[in-house]
């Protein structure tokens, strides 16, 4: 008696050419999968390789140490204390990352505060209230929005939006965290919307019927039954959108003013992590401490978005299991 | 269909059965021998220790209520179950005395020798010609265009489809009617000249006229092929087959010459089934 | 307000969110079309920039973009198709290889585009290019510098997940019965995949390719340091030449121009060209995919 495992295709004893062909193709297919894995590793290794001197190279440490990157320094005078300064190109280079962190945070915050409610409301409307034809129209519209290159959004923010917003709200600076944040919101809206819409759409119809049968109004059903059930998915959208916003480059490079200021003022120009790399790497001396610090920033961005994406994927998984678990 | 066919009554079944079925029980050795074959999907046992002979140049029908393991048994005969993840097969299936489940058996060659026709007609979305030529091409069975033409025509003639499609061989197979599509699938299977033809409810998706054509076709085909047909339609089994196997919950309840099984079943469960008391 | 009234106003609010999104899209597109339409002429599309980019056309940028995405397609489509085939036809869902590959592709999709730029510089330009120079050019700087080849490869890595997702979806939509019919005729897995399944998924391959091209044509951050040039008097002729690119050209015109007002109309026209290009590509992809979903295959 022989037991045969399924899905094993034995090709022994047949024409050798075919057998060889089969093995070659299979090897190529598996190789492609390995290439996909190695790409993400290569990104990590080759960005990390240029970032590593920031941690270990004495030559780099002569100009900048880890402490200077993150901890408060005494750059100013006792009357005007300057504790965080990003000024890598100067006689006495200063490499405080704090202004860049703060700038990134401010722009991202504005973008998320605008995009999140908008995307969730729109997703609720699409899945719960919109008639079929409208639903089929909204999706391509959002896909179109997602298809706008970020350089075009950056251009629009720089040329049109910034002027309009300054006139409307009387900002001191034409380019600032709020303007860049609004433009960035347009970039993260599609991903937030798509993930939230998927999550809401995956909630079983029986939930809605149960709520409606208990006398809940359509909005109460959507708000108190459907949305809470889909919450991990909606949250995943927020996390993924956050990851996208932190890494987005061209919009902030063009619309944020790029001044590395350390303050909590939102109507001021800001410089983000990504924009700093984009603006400075092309002009930096290869192998200089500045060069390695820029790669270090890239590695930080990579790590942060990696964690955010991983978390987002986990949340989507959890939602799927949660809904499946309840359904069966 | 064929007016010269005489019929005789099967009292239990209340249908008339072609007496071309089972003229005489075969005395030859079986083409295929199934020996305590068990097929499992994960924990579920689909086929439970079935032992069964399948005789050369005859039609063997496998009947039983849906979910009884008919299709799993059929698909074990050309190892199509291998394509489904999580299926485990134990036992032996001997084709001309050789176990197709021995390690090192050439599954690809096996499937060329044991062809299959599926429940839903599944022609490729290619031309009629390319459908029939597919097996010949991938198996490298022909060496010239003329030879390919000839083999395609022969297969289409065998499937009684040639006259209907000879002027539109380059048209998409999907433009054919359901019955024509199924005969095309038969032609496609025949083109590689298999020795055994497995048919998984080949007529269940078809109208009565197309069904009759397929059944008629089976009579002519059995001169050259050994045929196994799975059907949930007892009348069909009675009409076309020489031997019938009745399966219940994966286990073989009865295997006998068709007239005997339908007129004088040995097992009370068979009788219950063919008289329509369950299923 | 009654409960019913409150209910209605909430629904209205969510509807307004949709309306706002649509309006914003309309404003952006409308603004670009309104200002960008007029300067577009044959000279603009076929000429080179003149007078410090305040006059002339954008042909070198169009040429560079097309060349970039074509090269990128050559790299990304075969690899993407193979990975998608692995996912859909070969992978054992329980295996570590499947889980790792899936995870890698998901993460690749989330890597910030600027990081791809760093990667392209660190890996393709300096590591691979430097190695090529050492081996074949006696250390003379030939490939170890920013070039269209490295930009295309970088862009290929960035668009890889786009192709994989699209092709995989198409492969999975091919009915299992086709595979069964093929196996039953004695076809091997390779024959089944390449002669039955993949031809059925061609529309998906096409969609994936188009979406990748659209994405690649619009991304600027990854190519900032790996080959895009501010201004070049000549079109790229060799793989190690630098090139001009539409998106980068927009960035340059918008931020580095000495006279923003003078370049504004050309800038708008350039944006319109890029926007029209990406929209057209996306629209094509969306249409193909929609038809694919309805019929389960293009015929």
pLDDT in tens, chain C (299 residues): 566 777 888 888 999 999 999 999 999 999 999 998 988 888 888 877 777 666 778 889 999 999 999 999 999 999 999 999 999 999 988 899 999 999 999 999 989 999 999 999 999 999 999 899 988 888 888 888 899 999 999 999 999 999 999 999 899 989 999 999 999 998 989 999 999 999 988 888 888 899 899 989 989 999 999 988 878 777 888 888 889 999 999 998 888 877 777 788 889 999 999 999 999 988 888 888 777 665 544 43
Please name the helix (run of DSSP H) or strand (run of DSSP E) that holds residue A271, with its range, or none: none
pLDDT of residue A137: 85
Question: How far from C202 is each of B126, B135, C205, CA to CA, in Å?
Answer: 14, 22, 5
Q: What is the DSSP string of C148-163?
A: HHHHHHHHHHHHHHHH
Query: Chain centroid to CA B219: how far?
Result: 12
The number of domains in chain C is 1
How high is the ipTM of this complex?
0.89
Across residues B57-63, what is the average pLDDT?
Answer: 93
Q: Which residues sit opposite B94 in a β-bridge?
A: B33, B99
Domain membership of residue B93 (yes or no) is: yes
DSSP assignment letter at B29: P
- Shortest Cα distance, chain B CAs vs residue A321, angstroms: 22
pTM of the predicted protein model: 0.85
Tokens 């009759």, residue located: B212
Backbone dihedral angles phi then psi of residue C133, each to the nearest 5 degrees:
-60, -45
What angle do helix axes C148-172 and C59-85 make, rounded to 10 degrees?
A: 40
Q: How many angstroms separate the CA atoms of C217 and C250, rounded?
A: 12
Asked if A243 and A305 count as a contact pair (C-beta separation under 8 A), the reply is yes
Could you count the other beta carbons within 10 Å of the beta carbon of residue C254? 22
Tokens found for residue C2: 């009654």
Phi, psi values for residue B13, rounded to 5° = -90, -15
Domain for residue B112, yes or no? yes
End-to-end CA distance of chain B: 29
pLDDT level of residue B19 (50, 70, 90 thresholds): low
Burial class of residue B180 (count of CB atoms within 10 Å of its CB; 0-12, 13-18, 19+): buried
Domain-embedded: residue C23:
no
CA atoms within 13 A on the CB side of A315: 22
Instruction: Place B3 in a pLDDT band, splitting at 50, 70 and 90.
Output: very low
Residue B187 has pLDDT above 70, yes or no: yes
pLDDT the model gives residue B5 = 43
CA–CA gap between residue A179 and residue A172 (Å, rounded):
12
Asked if C275 reaches chain A (Cβ–Cβ under 8 Å), the answer is yes
Q: How far apart are CA C223 and CA C248, in angstroms?
A: 8
Report how many Cβ contacts below 8 Å link chain A to chain B: 59
Render A94-148 in DSSP notation, one character per residue.
Answer: EE--HHHHHHHHHHHHHHHHHHHHHHHHHHHIIIIIS-HHHHHHHHHHHHHHHHS
| Residue B132 DSSP SS3 | helix
Provide the token pair at C217.
């044509």
Q: Are B262 and B243 in contact (CB under 8 A)?
A: no
* Interface contact B90-A13, CB threshold 8 A: no
Strands B114-117 and B15-18: unpaired
* Number of alpha carbons in the 13 Å side-chain half-sphere of residue A4: 28
Residues of B contacting chain A (CB within 8 angstroms): 36, 79, 81-92, 99, 101-109, 140
pLDDT tens per residue across span B115-124: 999 988 989 8
**Token code pair at residue C220:** 């600027």
Q: What are phi and psi of A286, to 5 degrees?
A: -60, 130
Judge whether A121 is closer than 8 Å to chain C, CB to CB. Answer: yes
Q: Report the largest interatomic distance among the alpha carbons of chain C, rounded to a whole angstrom.
A: 83
**Residue ranges of chain A with per-residue pLDDT less than 70:** 1-15, 76-78, 81, 325-328
Task: Compute the nearest-CA separation of A6 from chain B (Å).
Answer: 4
Check whether B23 has a pLDDT greater than 70: no
Q: Report, as an integer, the average pLDDT of B73-81.
A: 91
* Residue B259 belongs to a domain: yes
Cα–Cα distance for residue pair C220/A51, rounded to 1 Å: 23
- CA distance linking residue A157 with residue A187, whole number of Å: 12
**Gap between the Cα atoms of B131 and C277, Å rounded:** 40
Nearest neighbour of B106 by CB, restricted to A4, A6, A12: A12
- Closest of B271, B125, B113, B78 to residue B192, by C-alpha: B113
What is the C-alpha separation between B84 and A5, in angstroms, rounded? 10
Q: Percentage of residues in chain B with pLDDT exceeding 70?
A: 89
Residue B124's Cβ-side half-sphere holds a number of Cα atoms within 13 Å equal to 29
Asked if C183 and B80 count as a contact pair (C-beta separation under 8 A), the reply is: yes
Tokens representing residue B63 in the block: 């009947």
Pairwise CA distance, residues C251 & A175, whole Å: 16
Task: Tell me if C12 is assigned to some domain.
Answer: no
DSSP summary character for residue C244: -
Whether B279 is in a domain gets the answer: no
Are B227 and B16 contacting, i.e. CB atoms less than 8 angstroms apart? no
Query: Which residues on B lie below 8 Å from A10 (Cβ)?
Result: 103-107
Whichever domain contains B242, its CATH number is 3.40.50.300
Residue B264: CB atoms within 10 Å: 12
- Looking at residue C282, its pLDDT comes to 87
Separation in Å, CA of B238 to nearest CA in chain C: 27
Helix axes C148-172, C96-110, angle to 10 degrees: 120
H or E, element range at B30: strand B30-41
Q: Measured between CA atoms, how close is B206 to chain A, in angstroms?
A: 31
> Which string of b and e fits B216-255 if b means at least 16 CB within 10 Å?
bbbbebbeebbbbbbbbebbbbbbbbbbbbbbbebebbbb
C86: domain CATH number is: 1.10.3720.10
Q: Is A18 on the interface with B (CB under 8 A)?
A: yes
Cα–Cα distances in Å, from A2 out to A206, B50, B94?
Answer: 47, 15, 13
**Alpha-carbon span C215 to C219, nearest angstrom:** 6
Q: How many residues does chain B have?
A: 279
User: What is the span of the domain harbouring residue B123?
Assistant: 3-274
DSSP per-residue codes, B62-87: EE-STTSSHHHHHHHTTTGGGGSTTE
* Structural domains of chain B, count: 1
Show which subunits contact C, needing at least 3 CB pairs below 8 angstroms.
Answer: A, B
What is the spatial distance between Cα C78 and Cα C212, in angstroms, rounded to a whole number? 13
Nearest to C156 by CA among C198, C110, C212, C114: C212
In contact, B251 and B38? CB cutoff 8 Å: no
* Residues C293 and A140: beta-carbon distance below 8 Å: no
Q: Which of residues 185-224 of A touch B (CB under 8 A)?
A: none
Residue B188 has what pLDDT? 93
A176 and A266 in contact (C-beta within 8 Å)?
yes
For residue A14, give the nearest of B91, B101, B109 by CB distance.
Answer: B109
Burial (0-12, 13-18, 19+ Cβ within 10 Å), B137: middle
State the architecture of A94-323 in CATH terms: Orthogonal Bundle (1.10)
């Amino acid at each position: 008696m022989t037991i045969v495992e399924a899905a094993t295709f034995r090709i022994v004893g047949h024409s050798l050419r075919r057998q060889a062909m089969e093995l070659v193709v299979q090897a190529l297919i598996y190789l492609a999968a390995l290439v996909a894995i190695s790409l993400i590793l290569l990104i990590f290794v080759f960005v990390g390789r240029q970032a590593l001197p920031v941690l270990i190279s004495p030559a780099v440490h002569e100009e900048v140490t880890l402490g200077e990157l993150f901890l408060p320094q005494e750059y100013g005078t006792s009357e005007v204390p300057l504790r965080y300064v990003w000024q890598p190109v100067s006689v006495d280079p200063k490499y405080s990352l704090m202004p860049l962190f703060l700038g990134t945070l401010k722009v991202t915050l504005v973008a998320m505060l605008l995009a999140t409610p908008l995307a969730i409301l729109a997703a609720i409307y699409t899945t719960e209230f919109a008639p079929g034809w409208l639903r089929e129209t909204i999706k391509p519209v959002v896909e179109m929005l997602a298809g706008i290159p970020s350089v075009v959004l950056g251009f629009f923010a720089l040329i049109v939006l910034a002027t309009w917003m300054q006139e409307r709200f009387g900002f001191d600076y034409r380019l600032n965290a709020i303007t860049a944040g609004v433009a960035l919101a347009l970039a993260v809206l599609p991903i937030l919307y798509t993930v939230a819409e998927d999550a809401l759409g995956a909630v079983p119809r029986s939930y809605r019927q149960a709520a409606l049968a208990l006398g809940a109004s359509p909005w109460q059903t959507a708000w108190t039954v459907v949305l809470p059930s889909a919450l991990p998915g909606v949250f995943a959208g927020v996390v993924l959108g956050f990851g996208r916003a932190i890494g987005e480059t061209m919009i902030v490079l063009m619309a944020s003013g790029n001044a590395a200021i350390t303050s909590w003022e939102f109507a001021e120009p800001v410089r983000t992590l990504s924009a700093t790399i984009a603006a400075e790497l092309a002009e930096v001396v290869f192998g200089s401490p500045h060069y390695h610090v820029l790669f270090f920033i890239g590695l930080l961005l990579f790590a942060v978005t990696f964690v955010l994406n991983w978390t987002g994927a986990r949340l989507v998984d959890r939602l799927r299991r949660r809904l499946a678990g309840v359904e069966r | 269909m064929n007016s010269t066919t005489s019929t005789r009554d099967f009292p239990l079944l209340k249908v008339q059965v072609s007496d071309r079925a089972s003229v005489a029980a075969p005395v030859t050795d079986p083409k295929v021998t199934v020996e305590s074959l068990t097929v499992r999907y994960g924990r579920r046992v689909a086929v439970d220790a079935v032992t069964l002979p399948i005789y050369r140049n005859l039609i063997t029908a496998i009947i039983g209520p849906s979910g009884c393991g008919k299709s799993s048994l059929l698909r074990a005969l050309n190892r199509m179950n291998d394509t489904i993840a999580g299926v485990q097969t134990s036992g032996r299936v001997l084709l001309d005395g050789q176990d197709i489940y021995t390690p090192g058996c050439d599954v690809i060659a096996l499937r060329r020798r044991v062809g299959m026709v599926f429940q839903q007609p599944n022609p490729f979305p290619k031309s009629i010609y390319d459908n029939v030529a597919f097996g010949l091409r991938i198996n490298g069975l022909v060496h010239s265009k003329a030879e390919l033409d000839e083999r395609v025509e022969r297969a289409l003639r065998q499937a009684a489809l040639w006259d209907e499609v000879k002027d539109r061989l380059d048209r998409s197979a999907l433009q054919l009617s359901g019955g024509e599509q199924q005969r095309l699938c038969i032609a496609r299977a025949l083109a590689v000249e298999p020795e055994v033809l497995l048919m998984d409810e080949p007529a269940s998706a078809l109208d009565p006229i197309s069904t009759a054509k397929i059944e008629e076709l089976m009579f002519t085909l059995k001169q050259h092929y050994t045929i196994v047909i799975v059907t949930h339609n007892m009348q069909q089994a009675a009409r076309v087959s020489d031997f019938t196997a009745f399966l219940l919950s994966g286990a073989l309840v009865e295997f006998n010459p068709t007239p005997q099984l339908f007129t004088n079943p040995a097992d009370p469960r068979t009788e219950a089934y063919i008289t329509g008391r369950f299923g | 307000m009654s409960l019913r009234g409150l209910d209605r106003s909430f629904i209205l609010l969510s509807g307004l969110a949709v309306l706002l999104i649509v309006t914003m899209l309309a404003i952006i597109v409308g603004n670009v079309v309104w200002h960008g339409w007029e300067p577009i002429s044959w000279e603009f599309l076929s000429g080179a920039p003149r007078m410090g980019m305040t006059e002339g056309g954008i042909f070198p940028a169009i040429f560079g973009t097309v060349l970039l995405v074509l090269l990128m397609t050559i790299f990304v489509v075969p690899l993407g198709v193979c990975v998608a085939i692995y996912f859909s036809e070969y992978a054992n869902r329980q295996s570590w290889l499947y889980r790792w590959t899936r995870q890698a592709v998901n993460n690749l999709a989330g890597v910030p585009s600027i990081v791809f730029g760093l990667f392209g510089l660190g890996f393709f330009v300096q590591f691979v290019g430097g190695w090529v120079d050492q081996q074949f050019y006696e250390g003379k700087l030939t490939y170890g510098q920013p070039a269209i080849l490295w930009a295309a490869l970088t862009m290929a890595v960035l668009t890889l997940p786009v192709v994989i997702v699209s092709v995989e979806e198409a492969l999975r939509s091919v009915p299992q019965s086709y595979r069964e019919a093929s196996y039953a005729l004695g076809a091997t897995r390779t024959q089944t995949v390449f002669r039955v399944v993949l031809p059925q998924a061609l529309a998906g391959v096409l969609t994936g390719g188009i979406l990748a091209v659209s994405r690649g044509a619009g991304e600027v951050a990854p190519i900032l340091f790996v080959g895009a040039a501010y201004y070049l008097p000549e079109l790229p002729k060799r793989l190690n030449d630098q090139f001009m690119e539409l998106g980068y050209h927009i960035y340059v015109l918008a931020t580095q121009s000495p006279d923003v007002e003078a370049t504004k109309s050309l800038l708008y026209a350039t944006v319109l060209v890029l926007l029209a290009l990406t929209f057209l590509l996306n629209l094509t992809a969306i249409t193909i995919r929609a038809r694919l979903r309805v019929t389960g295959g293009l015929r």
